[in-house]
Amino acid sequence: MITKQQRGMTTIGLLLVLAVLGLIAFGVIQLVPVYLENMKVVQLLNQTKEQLDGQSPSVKDIRDALYKRAEIEDLRDIDTRKDIVVKPKSGGYTVEIQYERRKPYVANISLLAEFSHSVEIVN
């Protein structure tokens, strides 16, 4: 008697693979807006640096420029007073931003993205 070996994936195996791929795709869809917002934040810092480099700005000037750019870019989730720290250093300032975003995923599981960026503004 000749036995035929089975090859391939069963329907249940296929459904499990599709479920895992679906969960991964759902996570990616949840995180894309978070990373797009992060790209705007990096652009905000770089544009502020370009605008104020060599202008001898004060801390208030830096904060005002960041606030205005955040309003223009529609960054509602960034609190420019709390998330952004302006530290004086010799010859200028260091502007740092640290924030995190939580996105609900499945049931009581959330996705967390932490970001930290800084630029140096020279007097």
Per-residue model confidence (pLDDT) at position 1: 67
Per-residue model confidence (pLDDT) at position 78: 84
Beta strands at 84-89 and 92-106: parallel, antiparallel or unpaired: antiparallel
User: Which residue ranges make up each domain of the chain?
Assistant: 33-122
User: What are the Cα distances from residue 26, in Å, to 22, 81, 93?
Assistant: 6, 33, 40
Distance in angstroms (rounded) separating the CA atoms of residues 120 and 92: 7
- Give me the tens of pLDDT residue by residue for the chain, a chain 123 residues long: 677 777 777 899 999 999 999 999 999 999 999 999 999 999 999 999 999 999 999 999 999 999 999 999 998 888 888 899 999 999 999 999 999 999 999 999 999 999 999 999 998
Per-residue model confidence (pLDDT) at position 49: 95
